[in-house]
Amino acid sequence: MTAQTLAPTRAERSVLDALEAESIHIIREVLAEHEKPALLFSGGKDSVVVLHLLAKAVAPARVPIPVVHVDTGHNFGEVIAFRDAAVERYGLNLVVGSVQDYIDDGRLSERADGTRNLLQTRVLLDTIEAHGFDVLFGGARRDEDKARAKERILSLRDEFGGWDPRNQRPEVWNLYNGRHEPGWHVRAFPISNWTEADIWAYIEREEIQLPPIYFAHARQVFERDGMLRAVTPVSQPTEDEPVTIRRVRYRTVGDASCTGAVASEADTIEKVRAELALSTLTERGATRADDRISSAAMEDRKKEGYF
Amino acid sequence: MPHTLLRIATAGSVDDGKSTLVGRLLHDSKAILADSLDELTRTSTERGFGGEVPALDLALLTDGLRAEREQGITIDVAYRYFSTDTRSYILADCPGHVQYTRNTVTGASTADVAVVLVDARNGVLEQTRRHLGVLALLRVPQVVVAVNKMDLIDWDEQQFSAIVADIEALANQLGLARIHTIPLSALGGQNVVEPGAQSPWYEGPTLLGLLEAIEPSEHVQEHLPRLDVQYVIRPQGALAPGLDAEAYRDFRGYAGTLAGGTLNVGDNVSLLSNGRPAQSQIAGIHTVNGPAASAEAGEAIVLELADEIDIARGDTIVAGALPEPSKELSAEVCVLAERTLRSGDRVLIKHGTKVTQAKISGIEHVLDVLDYSTRPAESLQLNDLGRLSVRTASALAAEAYASSRTGGSFLLIDPVDGTTLAAGFVQDRHVAA
């Protein structure tokens, strides 16, 4: 026995305790029932929380699965550095699927609008196939989007990676069923029932490290489509878009070519939580140009095998 | 009071105004942020909702997939989230038209409270009976019947009382103990979040007021502290970075979620190991926050035992007497797939964390959802509720669903393609002599 300190027991469990226990239950079921799981890890706060939960689910053992990152080549440098540090800290194997490689050798071509989010799907599916992963953990939450609100915790993908919303398995009690035909795979979303506010409350409680761009910092930005966009090699202002230096932070981390920042003074977790409590915009509406293409943008991408 | 989580499931059809009711709950509890509200206002105006007096079509808030909007139907359960000062709510919005049983079972199996919609003009319909029947089978702890569209019957107290009487008669027949009935108008917002002046004769709470006050309770009384082993943790050679290898040299932990009661270090436990009963003692408990003296129901934990016993995923550890292992079960089932279940079918059964081969040994009856009578049946089809018996390859530590949700629930699975065929509720076990 290795007990040094005894944790207090709680007479009444909080929302975070209940969500955490549910997520760990799901993670253990999926790890136990699948041959070759992996975690989709972007360095974004949701995938960071899933990694933290994975580590708790198997403690004191090491996280027994690799992490997969589909790198668009347009990521924020701070996020890539964070990803690599997390891999080191948890002692993980990292599998990178590189959109840039696909563009360089002609398997994919750059879109006219320069965004690479839609190019990720092919790279993701090829990576899954090449490594023979039968289940991928992801950090998707149901409060993010209308299509995600209808997706099961264990979501089946056909051999083309497609999601069929009309043919989802019933998910009853806490009995999960990830069995599938050869060539299919499963996406497992253990934090389906968490909200953005829950995620931040948990990050604060567990003192989870995040990439620095989630907190207010000074950055060169310009305004486009009502969003603040960072000046980066892949996101350049036109002549009519004046560049200013503003205090900003990101609510989601994605492709730098289509992820917007919000003006913010919140440079600590407590301040971020206070800011969110007053926010009048949804996370994706505020900062993701890719989700604004149409109100069915996420639904269409999911059907094609997106995250 | 700490902030607590309440899981709600709504059942009813679009015609009952369910989408509007859910939209009203979200809107009036301020769960809708400005950009979503802008989109709602824009779409409502485009479609001319409200006619002369433009109004918000709150049903659009729960409109999901494009295929659904195009056909004006709801395909699948949608999950919504909102919170108040005292509670966080997870709302499973279960459509009534297509795949009604599959959807209701999916949405309500984890619910603390189910809200069933009834159109005040129509009163209790076949669908209401079906929904209440499924909720009774699931033993959802609390049921609220929302009698909607009261404005369309001029808030008539007599008509409402007649519906309440019908509902109470059904509840009695089904053994639904805790049932509440509320007259409301989702469209106008009366008695949903804010009380309505139109029903001075109604002295009960609003829908949200009731949800705020309801005690979140266990689905059914979980008698035994029970842990179905999910995963065996042996970190030798693969210890998490930063831990002392020497301290964990012989560590062997059994991970699972504790259903029911409390476990303490030092407790004597019974276990079912590979079909055979054994005894041991708890040597250590690890919660998500580290080593602990005890753990409570609902916690995801890791147990260390005092004895070296061969324990694997699918085995069961309980404090107190072990449910007698059995290879034959009699159970109510809801058929959830477009397959026919017949006597002699070979299936897989997932009970707790154990998956074993099984054979349907007999179909006993099917339930008539109109009058809740049973009639003999040869087979069960999609959406049927019925009773069957199953023989299993390995013995299961099953309990009656009435005494343990964890020990009394199971899935039947197609062994070839993995389809979930049915959800099962154990009624009885046949213990081999």
Chain A's closest residue to B251, CA to CA, is A1
Shared domain check, A141 and A58: yes
Q: For A282, which of B35, B294, B295 is closest by C-beta distance?
A: B35
Domain presence at residue B72? yes
Higher-pLDDT residue of B237 and B133 is B133
Amino acid B170: pLDDT: 94
Report chain B's mean pLDDT, rounded to a whole number. 89
Strands B316-319 vs B268-273: parallel, antiparallel or unpaired: antiparallel
**Considering B292, B319, B346, which residue would you say is the last residue of a domain?**
B319
Note whether B61 and B188 are same-domain residues.
Answer: yes
User: Which residue of chain A comes nearest to B294, CA vs CA?
Assistant: A9
B297 with B381, same domain?
no
Q: What is the mean pLDDT of residues A112-124?
A: 84
Q: Are residues B399 and B258 in the same domain?
A: no
Same domain, residue pair A224 and A105: no
**How many domains does one find in chain A?**
2
Least CB-CB distance to B240: which of A12, A20, A59? A59
Cα A108 to its chain centre, rounded Å, is 23
CA distance A100 to chain B (A): 32
Give the N- to C-terminal CA distance of chain B in Å, as an integer: 50
Q: Please state the ipTM of this predicted complex.
A: 0.93
Residue A1: inside a domain, yes or no?
no
Is residue A165 domain-shared with residue A234, that is, in the same domain? no
- Whether A275 and A191 map to the same domain: the answer is no
How far apart CA A122 and CA A298 sit, in angstroms, is: 16
The range of the structural domain enclosing residue B270 comes to 226-319
A70–B contact, CB cutoff 8 A: no
pLDDT at residue A7, rounded to an integer: 37
Whether B71 shows a pLDDT value over 80: the answer reads no
Domain that holds residue A192: 15-198+297-303
Radius of gyration of chain B (CA): 24
Q: How confident is the model at residue B364 (pLDDT cuts 50, 70, 90)?
A: very high
Q: What is the mean pLDDT of chain A?
A: 87
Residue range A278-304: mean pLDDT, rounded: 63
Model confidence pLDDT, tens digit, residues B331-349: 999 999 999 999 999 999 9
Lowest mean pLDDT among A137-141, B49-53, B96-100, B237-241: B96-100
Give yes or no: residues B273 and B369 share one domain.
no
Cβ pair A193:B284 closer than 8 A: no
Same domain for A109 and A173:
yes
Contact B302, B403 (CB under 8 A): no
pLDDT reading at A3 higher than 50: no
Residues B392 and B293 occupy one common structural domain: no
Instruction: Tell me what pLDDT residue A288 has.
Output: 58
On whether the CB atoms of residues A57 and B300 are closer than 8 A, the answer is: yes
Q: Cβ of A35: how many Cβ atoms within 10 Å? A: 8
- For residues B279 and B130, state if they share a domain: no
- Could you tell me if residue A3 is inside a domain? no
- Which of B149, B179, B213 terminates a domain? The answer is B213
| Closest-approach residue (CA) in chain A for B30 | A280
Spatial distance between the Cα atoms of B367 and B377, rounded to a whole number of angstroms: 9
Q: What is the pLDDT of residue A30?
A: 98
Residue B221 domain-assigned?
no
Instruction: Tell me: do A171 and A227 sit in the same domain.
Output: no
Asked, for residue A104, whether it belongs to a domain, the answer is: yes
Are B334 and B105 contacting, i.e. CB atoms less than 8 angstroms apart? Answer: yes
Q: Using one digit for the tens of pLDDT, what is the confidence trace for A70-94?
A: 998 888 899 999 999 999 999 999 9
Rounded CA gap, A93 and A63, in Å? 10
Report pLDDT for B73.
Answer: 64
Task: Specify if A146 maps to a domain.
Answer: yes
Structurally, chain B folds into a number of domains equal to 3
Question: How high is the pLDDT of residue A256?
Answer: 75
Asked if the structure places residue A256 within a domain, the reply is yes
Interface membership of A198 toward B (CB under 8 Å): yes
| Distance of alpha carbon A137 from alpha carbon B199, whole angstroms | 50
Residue A203 within any structural domain of the chain = no
Same domain, A232 and A162: no
Non-local (6+) Cβ contacts of B95 within 8 A are B13, B14, B73, B74, B75, B76, B77, B103
Checking if the pLDDT of B199 tops 80, the result is yes
Name every chain B residue with its beta carbon within 8 A of the beta carbon of A20.
Answer: 288, 300
A24, A32, A281 ranked by CB distance to B300: nearest: A24
**What is the DSSP secondary-structure string of B239-274?**
BPTTS-TTTTTT--EEEEEEESSEEETT-EEEEEET
Q: Do A170 and B102 touch (CB under 8 A)?
A: yes
Please say if the pLDDT value at position A4 is more than 90.
Answer: no
Q: Are B77 and B122 in the same domain?
A: yes
Output the domain CATH number for residue B277. 2.40.30.10
**Is B241 within 8 Å of A89 when comparing Cβ atoms?**
yes
- Has residue A239 got a pLDDT over 70? yes
Which residue in B124, B123, B146, B142 sits closest to B20, CA to CA?
B146
**For A247-256, what is each residue's pLDDT tens digit?**
999 988 877 7
Question: Do B276 and B405 sit in the same domain of this protein?
Answer: no
- Specify the CATH number for the domain of residue B201: 3.40.50.300
Q: Which of B233, B356, B421 to substitute to test the interface with A, most A CBs within 10 Å?
A: B233
Contacts of B283 in chain A (CB under 8 A): 1
Which CATH number belongs to the domain containing residue A180 in this structure? 3.40.50.620
Nearest CA-CA distance, residue B113 and chain A, Å: 14
Q: Tell me the per-residue pLDDT of B119-135, one tens digit each, with 9 for 90 and over.
A: 999 999 888 998 899 99
**% of chain A with per-residue pLDDT over 70:** 88
Report the C-alpha gap between A276 and A198 in whole angstroms.
Answer: 11
A-chain residues within 8 Å CB-CB of B63? 146
A118-177 residues touching B, CB cutoff 8 A: 142-143, 146-147, 149-150, 165-166, 168-175, 177
Q: Are residues B331 and B260 in the same domain?
A: no
A148 and A25 share one domain: yes
**Closest alpha carbon to B431 in B402, B400, B409:** B400
In a domain, A40, yes or no: yes
pLDDT number for residue A8:
35
Is A94 in the same domain as A170? yes
Please tell me the distance from the alpha carbon of residue A158 to that of residue B170, in angstroms, as a whole number: 43
Based on the domain organization, do B299 and B336 belong to the same domain? Answer: no
Q: Is residue B218 part of a domain?
A: no
Convert the pLDDT of each residue in A207-234 to its tens digit.
Answer: 999 999 999 999 999 998 888 888 888 8
Residues A108 and A151 in one domain: yes
> CA B214 to CA B195: how far, in whole Å?
18
Specify the DSSP element, H or E, that contains B174: helix B157-174
Q: Are residues B356 and B311 in the same domain?
A: no
State if pTM tops 0.90.
yes
CA distance A34 to chain B (A): 12
**Secondary structure of chain A as H, E, C letters:** CCCCCCCCCCCCCCHHHHHHHHHHHHHHHHHHHCCCEEEECCCCHHHHHHHHHHHHHHCCECCCCCEEEEECCCCCHHHHHHHHHHHHHHCCCEEEEEHHHHHHCCCCCCCCCCCCHHHHHHHHHHHHHHHCCCEEECCCCHHHCCCHHHCCCEEEECCCCCCCHHHCCCCECCECCCCCCCCCEEEECCCCCCCHHHHHHHHHHHCCCCCHHHCCEEEEEEEECCEEEECECCECCCCCCCCEEEEEECCCCCCCCCECEEECCCCCHHHHHHHHHHCCCCHHHHHEHHHHCCCCHHHHHHHCCCC
Sheet of A244-249: strand order equals: A227-230, A217-224, A244-249, A262-263
Contacts of A86 in chain B (CB under 8 A): none
Q: Considering the domain boundaries, does residue B219 fall inside one?
A: no
